[in-house]
Amino acid sequence: MRYKHIYKYVFLLVFTLSSIASFSQSKKQQELEERRQELRREIKQINDLLFKNQSQKKSQTSLIEDLSYKVSVRQNLIKITNQQANLLTREINANQKKITELRDELKILKDNYAKMIVTSYKSKSEQSRIMFLLSSSNFQQAYKRVQYINQYAEYQKEQGEAIKIKTAQLQDTNKDLLRQKEDKQKLIDENRVAQRELEAELKQQQTLMASINKNLNNYTSQIREKQREADKIDREIEKIIREAIASSNKSAGKATTASSGFALTPEDKILADNFVSSKGKLPWPVEKGVVKLRYGKQPHPVVKTVMIQSNGVRIATEEHAPIRAVFNGKVLAVQAIKHGNLSVLIQHGNYVTVYKNLSKVYVKKGDNVTTKQEIGQVFTNPSNKETILSFSIFKESATQNPADWIYKM
């Protein structure tokens, strides 16, 4: 009987390890599914925000920028879907192997149980048991035989329960297998559709690029001119922040140096700490939007040989969309920038968020604002109906990557 308990422990250990591996795979599958749904929502937003008004005349550069962005998201969606399908294939193979093992184990259990039933039937009469006990040579042997009879009956009962559990496991695994096969087929079907759409978009992209390549020097000049305009706006923003830093130090009676930051009051420090603790969880500055240009130095999405520098992100949003403050703070400045539209700077302790390319502003310098409070409206280009918000985050006068701060950017 000691071996029976060892078998039970080994069975439990194997079952536990198998459950942990299964849970790990399911968690990975769940993560992939969440990412896939995010990408599907992003493509829907791209279609709604960038391709809804097909009648509006866009420049070829803008059109191919939008198309390139859409292509990259769809390629990522196909990649994630393939990863899901591959993971499901591994899970299906594991479950098929598990089903084979369970069937083999169940057969052994049933065969052993059948043998026990036959043995039990042959010696089931009360007379046989009494004779088995009376034939003992002494009391100790009789006592051991009583224990054996009870243990044998208990073991028989446990074997019956083990068959029930193993049968239930087999049924559940079969159900999981069928569901996994259905899920995999659904992913394959969706990927076929996505692949066809991607091929059509790539064909359109190639046609546009062929047209752009004919006038590549002209497009390159336009891109560089836009970069120079963006740099001028960024320098004006940085100047406003440096002046605000100098003013805060002067008010606090401190000397300003090249490395000086904002002179903070105790309340400002609390605000800054709260801002930092919200890193990665800040709301988007617009209710609906997709990031057309990300932070940092990068190749231009159309002319890859031209490098561009982005001190923030450019977010495409709905026509005349309202702008929201991403956190509690105080309006540092409302600026009618010389080379652009209106901008709003909001201070959060020693951090500043900047909202550029606004057509309307609802706040003024010195106003206290709260998270998600509407502070203005994005400018919509009347010629092509493009609505682009430029959004930046600064720590003192140093830029930050907004994607590190805004929820799922």
In angstroms, the CA 174 to CA 386 distance is 53
Q: Which tens digit of pLDDT belongs to each residue from 54-89?
A: 555 677 778 888 998 899 999 999 999 999 999 988
The vertex-24 CA angle with 18 and 26, nearest 5°, equals 100
In angstroms, the CA 284 to CA 358 distance is 16
Residue with tokens 């992209």: 205
* Stated length of the chain: 409
Sequential pLDDT tens for the chain (409 residues): 444 454 454 445 545 545 555 555 678 989 999 999 999 999 999 998 888 765 556 777 788 889 988 999 999 999 999 999 999 888 888 878 877 777 777 777 777 767 666 665 555 555 565 555 567 677 777 667 667 666 666 666 666 677 777 777 778 877 888 888 899 999 999 999 999 999 999 999 889 888 888 888 888 888 899 899 899 999 999 999 999 999 999 988 887 776 779 999 999 999 999 999 999 999 999 999 999 999 999 998 888 889 999 999 999 999 889 999 999 999 999 998 765 689 999 999 999 999 999 999 999 999 999 999 999 999 998 877 889 999 999 999 999 999 999 999 9
185: nearest Cα among 289, 261, 88: 88
Supply the pTM of this predicted model.
Answer: 0.72
In angstroms, the CA 132 to CA 149 distance is 10
State the number of CA atoms in the 13 A half-sphere of 352 facing the CB. Answer: 25
Tell me the two tokens of residue 316.
Answer: 């495409």
User: Which DSSP symbol is given to 69?
Assistant: H
Ordered domains of the chain (ranges, CATH): 2-214 (1.10.287), 226-404 (2.70.70.10)
In angstroms, the CA 87 to CA 91 distance is 6
46: nearest Cα among 357, 324, 295, 317: 317
